[in-house]
Structure 1
Amino acid sequence: MRKALLIVGLLFLAIGLLWIGQGTGALPWPAASFMIGSLQWAEYGALLAAVGLILIWQSRR
């Protein structure tokens, strides 16, 4: 169970950081993405990254 929480947490964190980068325009990849420059996706990314950090923290307890 701990490994599953850690893997899912790391995945959520990575995707969340990608969405933050795309939403803020700091990471314009892929170039044709509808998420680039949309702060809504940066907010979603922040929430997903926070959930990922919580899952990582729970896997370490």
Structure 2
Amino acid sequence: MKFVLQVAGVALMLAGGLWTLQGLGLVMWPAESFMLAERQWAINGALVFGAGAALFWFASRRR
């Protein structure tokens, strides 16, 4: 269970990081994405990244 939660945490961090960078306009890929340079997606991405980091931390502390 610990491993599954850690993998889910990493997946959330990767997705949230991509969404944040797209929302900030730093990653303009894919070109047809509706998230590019949209502040709301930068905020959403940061929240998802934080949730993933918290999940990973929580799973790491489990025995």
The residue that corresponds to 1:4 in the other structure is 4
Percent of aligned positions that are identical:
41
Other structure's SS at 2:57 match: helix
Distance across 1 between alignment mates of 2:5 and 2:39: 28
Amino acid at match of 1:24: L
Post-superposition, which runs of at least 4 consecutive aligned residues in structure 1 deviate over 3 A? Answer: none
1:1-61 alignment, distance < 5 Å: 1-61=1-61
Q: Whole-Å Cα distance in 2 between the matches of residues 25 and 19 of structure 1?
A: 10
Instruction: Tell me the TM-score normalised to structure 1 length.
Output: 0.97
Gapped regions of structure 1 (runs ≥ 5): none
How high is the TM-score relative to the length of structure 2?
Answer: 0.94
Supply the RMSD in Å over aligned alpha carbons: 0.5
